Amino acid sequence: MSHPPSAHDAAYLLAAHCDLNGVFRGKRLPLSAAEKLASGGIRMPMSSIGVDIWGTDVIGNSLTFDQGDLDGIVEPTGRGPLPLAFGATPAMFTPMWMRKEDGEPFFGDPRRTLAAVIGQFEEMGLRPVVATEVEFYLVDPAAPAARPLSVPDVGHADCSDTIYSMSELAGVDAFLNEVYAVAEDCGVAVDGATSESGPGQFEFNLMHGPDALKVADDTVLFKQIVRSAARRHGFAASFMAKPYAEHSGSGLHVHFSLLDGEGRNIFDDGTREGTAAMRHAVGGVLAAMHDCTLIFAPHQNSYRRLRPGTLAPTVAAWGYENRTAALRIPGGPPVARRIEHRVSGADANPYLVIAAILAAALDGIEAGQEPPAPADGNVHDSDAPQIPADWRSALSVFETSPKVARLFHPEFIAMFAACKRQELDVFEREITALEYHSYLHTV
């Protein structure tokens, strides 16, 4: 097992932007290119932001053929180089984002989409404070399907659930230590780690901060830190929303509050209930939830997680200290009053998830959107509006929604919808093993 990468070990540079699916795409460069990279960036096709999950050009986004596959300019975000390797050889990684040749932002880039939303808050004298919770499974890297890891003293022959298990944490102690060490070297502020419900499932809490763009950067970087560390310890890390049908899915929960120009939390009125601004933010996020579900659940597998009988939401409802609700208002001191958004799977793009949540919250605040009454008990059985239950439904409403058109730049909407449409078409053309088993010799 190799040791974590460090600056003096680096053999080359990596530079990459984050595509619409949250996948890094970029180039390997010699160490001698560091100064040129920092000052001028690199050229890459704008279509590379919008490729599908398999890395195939998306025909429907118009960039590849209709516009001649134009280049964009991919520039450093101002963070790095970081000691984050994607393979066995130590390397230094520079996160990038894309603009157009003429200097204008390219809103196909998910980081640009989030930056535009944050800019709207700045115009109002507000600053979002955001934190994320990331769940994932450690799995057997050699298995073609998800299979629980096997480490000393932590066997899962019976695939038992292990929520808050201390022995589960102890069994992967070296892996966890490396995650914390590399995260610190990369400037990613990580808080607690827990063993979650499923076999080999873990959750990390990333520290909250008043820079939503940095928190999104941290979350994207953290996923790669986990993958790389898992590989060095003989595991594979999966952020699939639902790798096991019989066990809990993996979520990406987002907590947020808003600070005014004097640093005060505008959700805090000194009580458990929170301010009118908090309720209006809740109202805005709930009102947009149905139409924005494609962002929170962007893949075929995502919808296996959003099922009744779990702590993953199925309806657009909110409640105080209610984990069955899509929006939860956690308890604790009023000064920390915040909203927890529980819809997204760990497979979603953190930039887009945070952008959708914050854009909808701002829309609700500006409109004075009043939410329905907070829900108690199991909200799956309530009459609250349903979240789309399948990928096609979510895609259809996203493409045609006036609310989505109001919240996001049309460049992003067109590219994201085209990407998801192409992926959906591939899945719908596939004849599965279950179909052959069910129908080949019976109908």
Which carries the bigger pLDDT value, residue 410 or residue 88?
Answer: 410
Assign 3-class secondary structure to the chain. CCCCCCHHHCCCEEEEEECCCCCEEEEEECHHHHHHHHHHCEEEEHHHHCCCCCCCCCHHHCCCCCCCCCEEEEEECCCCCECCCCCCCCCEEEEEEEECCCCCECCCCHHHHHHHHHHHHHHCCCEEEEEEEEEEEEECCCCCCCCECCECCECCCCCCCCCCCHHHHHHCHHHHHHHHHHHHHCCCCEEEEEECCCCCEEEEEECCECCHHHHHHHHHHHHHHHHHHHHHCCCEEECCCCCCCCCCCCEEEEEEEEECCCCCECCCCCCCCCCHHHHHHHHHHHHHHCCCHHHHCCCCCHHHHCCCCCCCCCECCEEECCCCCCEEECCCCHHHCCEEECCCECCCCHHHHHHHHHHHHHHHHHHCCCCCCCCCCCHHHCCCCECCCCHHHHHHHHHHCHHHHHHCCHHHHHHHHHHHHHHHHHHHHCCCHHHHHHHCCCC
| pLDDT computed for residue 188 by the predictor | 96
| Over residues 288-299, mean pLDDT | 98
pTM of the model: 0.94
| pLDDT computed for residue 65 by the predictor | 54
Least confident of 115-119, 230-234, 359-363: 230-234
| Over residues 219-229, mean pLDDT | 97
| Over residues 324-342, mean pLDDT | 96
For residue range 45-76, list pLDDT tens digits in order: 999 999 999 999 998 876 655 555 789 999 99
| Highest-scoring range by mean pLDDT, 87-91, 168-172, 296-300, 319-323 | 296-300
| pLDDT computed for residue 8 by the predictor | 67
pLDDT of 290 > 90? The answer is yes
User: For the chain, what is the mean pLDDT?
Assistant: 92
For residue range 181-212, list pLDDT tens digits in order: 999 999 999 999 998 888 899 999 999 999 99
| pLDDT computed for residue 151 by the predictor | 46
| pLDDT computed for residue 378 by the predictor | 87
| pLDDT computed for residue 90 by the predictor | 87
% the chain with pLDDT above 90: 79
| pLDDT computed for residue 191 by the predictor | 94
For residue range 128-159, list pLDDT tens digits in order: 999 999 999 999 898 888 888 654 444 444 55
For residue range 17-43, list pLDDT tens digits in order: 999 999 999 999 999 999 889 888 999
| pLDDT computed for residue 153 by the predictor | 42
pLDDT of 9 > 90? The answer is no
% the chain with pLDDT above 70: 93
Instruction: Determine the Cα–Cα distance for residues 274 and 40; give it in Å rounded to an integer.
Output: 47
pLDDT of 109 > 70? The answer is yes
Which domains can be identified in the chain, with CATH numbers?
7-106 (3.10.20.70), 117-408 (3.30.590.10)
Contacts of 11 (CB under 8 A, 6+ apart): 31, 89, 90, 91
| pLDDT computed for residue 5 by the predictor | 54
pLDDT of 416 > 80? The answer is yes
Report CA-CA distances (Å) from 418 to 51, 62, 158, 390, 396: 9, 9, 42, 17, 11
pLDDT of 6 > 70? The answer is no
C-beta separation of 345 from 250 below 8 A: yes
For residue range 349-379, list pLDDT tens digits in order: 999 999 999 999 999 999 999 999 999 888 8
pLDDT of 214 > 90? The answer is yes
